[in-house]
């Protein structure tokens, strides 16, 4: 019989060329595509080093990057497992290969099993082996040598289906997987081995013979003599026999007696030059497959899988919907979002903290799209901003296949147990579990309370000690000797620098310097720092402290605030890093000295300890929506006197995770960019204005799109509709079509659109659909929105249908976000003007005021803060949220009013001044019937009765 050699070397070369060309083709579309294989070698074995060099060379030819990790022979099993775990996590590594054999003290099976299934390009791991051995299994990778065998057969046009195959050898690496692959291709397979009786007889009727038994020339050539079919022989063996004619003293032979077999077979692989090169080529092919899989998955380690919704009509209560949905494990949510396991700190199975190291890892990525959700002027009927934020995220992530994050504030438990209820969204657009979301989360608000109250305690204690001690003893107790040595702490050195004292030895200060350093001389009447509690408690709006006899008559009148009104919360929301938070905490002004100098947290010596209390709180929390899309829940500054938005850091993290590689072409960037949906408290004119002029100034981020949420009912309120009373039936105007009332109310929506466009940003109006709405009413809102300059106005039914009901809104957001011209953006005011000018611009341009009246106390404070050097700060105006003006009774678009500013306060650490136009209660009270009255816990520990 005329035999032909199967040239594995040329086949492998062709495969490497094909791989290289495919990589070139993908890179021409997306330069960020960079397949990478990590090879770990533990030892200096010469044969292992040779194999590694072969693999690295093949990778180079195939345009695959290699990362070689060479560990010494003494590396422990634990150290090797840690290295493998690190490689498993690294998104830039697509394949992980541990070169065998390993030193005797390391369990090879344990190590190869630790390689992640999605990176197991050797195909040796339990998942891939297990799937290979299932009848309907779907391994992510096939073992390289068996795959190379099949590839050789195909490239030499060997028919497999319907044939008889004999596999000699039953190893997990070759024999068993080759048999499974041949069976999957419809060959009838017999597996033989060294103990098989009358092995020769099996070969007489075989069409294909694969030999991988590990014995030199075990299969004799004459065994094929009686096979008249023209058998194909694949010799997988690599054995070394002595050969004095070779320089090395040995030569390589296979498991088949090649020189004899070639006389009787149709096709046969030589050794070397047969299967060996194919094994390495298949390793490259598996690596390419792994890279493509993650590339097609947006560079993430796990593909996003949405949670299905069981939509019901009528829609059940929010709590019933939340309880009925089984959340994903938060580790899976994070992995789908692109967060590595080492960057996640789980708090149970449904919530976790995310390390700020993500920002370092993704620092070179371009940001995703930034969408700001606001609303019209609030009414008692509600507009559904949070529900829209969540529904839009569900639409983009679960239905439009975009990477998406909903970024929301953490709700205070005060309103939760009071009358407002939770803030998780509603209907089929919620953050889940909603009870976990509304209660505690990971304890950030408690940490804020502790940090705030530590400063309050330190402030009063400092005043007490200054009043009861002379300068010398006070200084000695402030800077005590420890083991005979006195040292300034870091925070003390900062105070010395502020005072212009450059000495570092406590014993070197002059008496005048000692007095200056030790005596803050706080004016009790100037103290602005209060204690806080995360509870609605009207009885704490005015208290007297220091009543105990031990305080020697040092009483003073003060009050509590709710925890989210603390400047510490605003600092948490506006900080750009842990160090930035530390510096901001130090800048907090708590009072003034009797000479008018501002007294800071740094002067008190408290900033370092407060930072320690908040070091975990600064890490954003991750949860999920009803449809399994990720949600960052972080910070919750009081919307009446602060920015009313989630944190800068959660937005920055999400934008990087939703972003694209810096090499991504513009056309692909539009297609692949993810979306971060963030929310501003109240309407655009309050929440949006603060978001842009304060939060965006701090973060350096600019929204791509502004979404203004409106409902037919709420717009009718602004059109002059009858008063809505709690507990009373809605007047007919709100549940029946009334186009005239609605069109009048659209003036309020139009004003918000115009206000947003002053910043050069596109506006999309989200019409939050309700059951009583009519198509004509929706059309009216769209007409008026477009007339006011909106990019689009889109009806969304996310409350009733979840993400499915917000698909049109999502598509509109995508369209608007990709047409933004960043060069048109501008802030409402500059920071160099006077405090009065900034307030006047906000009142006139945003609210529509004719002028601003500064009452005497406000004038006095402005003069003081200007003198203290704080006039350059942006301004947050505290006013009613229920009107564009300062008067809650003025609905629609009031004009010609004079806007009163009765007081101005400063939050230096947060980085803004806030002007008060009305009495704002910073610790709410409780109603007669409170939300907490309905809350119970079952025997299983589940919370019931919320909302």
Nearest to 121 by CA among 323, 280, 310, 269: 280
Q: Is the preceding peptide bond at 942 cis, omega within 30 degrees of 0?
A: no
How far is 332 from 330, CA to CA, in rounded Å?
5
Q: Is the preceding peptide bond at 314 cis, omega within 30 degrees of 0?
A: yes
How far is 591 from 583, CA to CA, in rounded Å?
18
Cα–Cα separations (whole angstroms), residue 713 to 743, 754, 773, 884? 12, 21, 8, 18
**Token pair for 622:** 């991750």
CA angle 649–652–654, rounded 5-degree value = 105
Beta strands in 634-674 (DSSP E): none
**Token pair for 565:** 């009104």
- Bridge partner list, 353: 345, 621
Is the dihedral angle over the CA atoms 594, 599, 604, 610 positive or is it negative?
positive
**Token pair for 61:** 């030819």
How far is 98 from 41, CA to CA, in rounded Å?
6
Q: Which residues are catalytic?
A: 55, 99, 122
- Bridge partner list, 942: none
Beta strands in 719-830 (DSSP E): 763-768, 792-796
Residue 929, number of CB atoms within 10 A of its CB: 9
How far is 621 from 611, CA to CA, in rounded Å?
18
- What number of residues does the chain have? 947
Is the dihedral angle over the CA atoms 871, 872, 873, 874 positive or is it negative?
positive
Query: Which backbone phi and psi does 913 adopt, to 5 degrees?
Result: -95, 150
Intra-chain end-to-end CA distance of the chain, in Å: 85
Continuous segment of H or E residues that includes residue 176: helix 175-184
Nearest to 708 by CA among 765, 655, 629, 664: 765
Q: Is the preceding peptide bond at 272 cis, omega within 30 degrees of 0?
A: yes
**Token pair for 767:** 């019409």
How far is 797 from 771, CA to CA, in rounded Å?
9
How far is 531 from 550, CA to CA, in rounded Å?
20
Burial 113-146 (b: 16+ CB within 10 A, else e): bbbbbbbbbbbbbebbbebbeeeeeebbbbbbbb
Cα–Cα separations (whole angstroms), residue 255 to 51, 216, 242, 375? 20, 5, 15, 76
Is the dihedral angle over the CA atoms 365, 369, 373, 374 positive or is it negative?
positive
Q: Does residue 542 sit in helix, strand or coil? A: coil
Q: Are 460 and 546 in contact (CB under 8 A)?
A: yes
How far is 158 from 558, CA to CA, in rounded Å?
90
In terms of C-beta density within 10 A (0-12 exposed, 13-18 middle, 19 or more buried), how is residue 620 classed? buried
How far is 513 from 703, CA to CA, in rounded Å?
49
CA angle 39–661–669, rounded 5-degree value = 140
Query: Which backbone phi and psi does 406 adopt, to 5 degrees?
Result: -100, 125
How far is 883 from 378, CA to CA, in rounded Å?
8
Q: Are 586 and 602 in contact (CB under 8 A)?
A: yes
- Rg (Cα) of the chain, in Å, rounded? 36
């Amino acid at each position: 019989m005329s035999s032909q050699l199967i040239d594995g070397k040329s086949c492998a070369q062709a495969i490497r060329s094909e791989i290289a060309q495919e990589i070139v083709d993908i890179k021409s579309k997306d330069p960020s595509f960079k397949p990478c294989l990590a090879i770990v070698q533990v030892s200096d074995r010469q044969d292992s080093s040779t194999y590694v060099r072969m693999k690295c060379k093949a990778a180079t030819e195939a345009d695959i990057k290699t990362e070689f990790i060479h560990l010494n022979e003494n590396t422990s099993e634990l150290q090797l497992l840690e290295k493998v775990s690190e490689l498993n996590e690294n998104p830039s590594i697509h394949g992980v290969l541990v070169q065998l054999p390993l030193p005797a003290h390391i369990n090879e099976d344990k190590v190869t099993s630790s390689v992640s299934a999605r990176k197991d390009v050797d195909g040796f791991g339990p998942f891939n082996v297990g799937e290979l051995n299932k009848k309907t299994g779907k391994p992510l990778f096939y073992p390289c040598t068996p795959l190379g065998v099949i590839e050789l057969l195909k490239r030499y046009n060997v028919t497999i289906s319907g044939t008889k195959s004999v596999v000699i050898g039953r190893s997990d690496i070759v024999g068993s997987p080759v048999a499974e692959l041949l069976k999957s291709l419809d060959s009838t397979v017999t597996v033989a081995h060294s103990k098989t009786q009358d092995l020769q007889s099996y070969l007489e009727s075989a069409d294909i013979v694969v030999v991988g038994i590990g014995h030199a020339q075990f299969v004799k050539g004459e065994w094929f003599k009686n096979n008249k079919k023209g058998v194909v022989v694949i010799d997988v063996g690599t054995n070394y026999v002595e050969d004095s004619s070779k320089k090395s003293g040995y030569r390589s032979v296979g498991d088949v007696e090649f020189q004899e077999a070639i006389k009787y077979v149709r096709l046969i692989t030589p050794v070397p030059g047969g299967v060996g090169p194919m094994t390495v080529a298949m390793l490259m092919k598996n690596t390419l497959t792994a890279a493509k899989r993650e590339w097609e998955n947006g560079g993430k380690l796990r593909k996003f899988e949405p949670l299905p919704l069981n939509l019901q009509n009528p829609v059940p209560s929010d709590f019933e919907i939340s309880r009925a949905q089984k959340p994903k494990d938060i580790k899976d949510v994070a992995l789908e979002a692109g967060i590595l396991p080492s960057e996640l700190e789980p708090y149970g199975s449904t919530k976790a903290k995310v390390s700020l190291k993500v920002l370092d890892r993704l620092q070179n990525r371009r940001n995703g799209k930034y969408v700001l959700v606001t609303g019209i002027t609030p009414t008692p009927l509600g507009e559904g901003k949070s529900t829209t934020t969540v529904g839009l995220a569900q639409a983009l992530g679960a239905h439009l296949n975009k990477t998406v994050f909903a970024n929301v504030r953490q709700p205070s438990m005060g309103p939760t147990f009071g009358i407002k209820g939770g803030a998780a969204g509603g209907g089929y657009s919620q953050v889940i579990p909603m009870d976990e979301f509304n209660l505690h989360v990971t304890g950030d608000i408690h940490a804020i309370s502790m940090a705030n109250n530590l400063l309050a305690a330190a402030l009063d204690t400092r005043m007490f000690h200054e009043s009861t001690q002379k300068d010398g003893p006070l200084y000695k107790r402030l800077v005590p000797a420890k083991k005979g040595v006195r040292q300034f702490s870091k925070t003390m050195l900062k105070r010395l620098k502020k005072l212009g004292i450059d000495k570092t030895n406590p014993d070197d200060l002059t008496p005048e310097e000692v007095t200056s350093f030790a005596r803050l001389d706080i004016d009790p009447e100037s103290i602005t720092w209060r204690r806080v509690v995360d509870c609605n408690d009207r009885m704490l709006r005015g208290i007297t402290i220091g009543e105990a006899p031990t305080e020697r008559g040092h009483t003073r009148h003060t009050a509590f605030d709710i925890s989210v009104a603390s400047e510490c919360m605003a600092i948490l929301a506006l900080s750009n890093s842990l160090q930035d938070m530390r510096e901001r905490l130090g800048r907090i002004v708590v009072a003034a000295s009797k000479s008018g100098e501002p007294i800071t947290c740094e002067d008190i010596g408290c900033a370092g300890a407060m930072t320690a209390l908040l070091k975990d709180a600064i890490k954003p929390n991750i949860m999920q929506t009803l449809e399994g899309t990720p949600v960052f829940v972080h910070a919750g500054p009081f919307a009446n006197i602060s920015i009313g938005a989630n944190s800068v850091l959660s937005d920055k993290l999400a934008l990087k995770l939703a972003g694209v590689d810096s090499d991504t072409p513009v056309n692909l960037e539009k297609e692949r960019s993810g979306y971060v949906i963030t929310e501003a408290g109240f309407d655009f004119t309050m929440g949006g204005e603060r978001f842009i002029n304060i939060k965006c100034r701090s973060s350096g981020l600019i929204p791509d799109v502004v979404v203004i949420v409106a409902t037919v009912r709420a717009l009718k309120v602004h059109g002059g509709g009858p008063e809505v009373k709690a507990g009373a039936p809605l007047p007919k105007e709100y549940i029946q079509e009334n186009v005239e009332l609605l069109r009048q109310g659209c003036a309020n929506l139009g004003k918000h659109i115009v206000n947003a466009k002053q910043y050069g940003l596109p506006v999309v109006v989200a019409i939050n659909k309700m059951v009583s709405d009519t198509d004509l009413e929706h059309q009216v809102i769209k007409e008026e929105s477009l007339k006011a300059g909106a990019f689009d106005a889109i009806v969304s039914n996310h409350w009733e249908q979840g993400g499915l009901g917000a698909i049109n809104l999502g598509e509109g957001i995508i369209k608007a976000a990709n047409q933004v011209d960043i060069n048109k953006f501008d802030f409402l005011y500059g920071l160099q003007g006077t405090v009065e000018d900034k307030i006047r611009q906000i009142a006139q341009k945003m609210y529509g005021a004719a002028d601003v009246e500064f009452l005497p106390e406000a004038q006095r404070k402005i003069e003081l803060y200007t003198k203290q050097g704080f006039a350059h700060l942006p301004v947050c105006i505290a006013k009613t949220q229920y009107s564009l003006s300062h008067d809650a009774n003025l609905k629609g678009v009031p004009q010609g009013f004079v806007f009163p500013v009765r007081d101005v306060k400063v939050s230096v650490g947060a980085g803004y001044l806030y002007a008060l136009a009305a009495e704002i209660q910073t610790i709410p009270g409780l109603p007669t019937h409170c939300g907490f009255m309905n809350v119970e816990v079952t025997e299983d520990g589940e919370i019931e009765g919320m909302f």
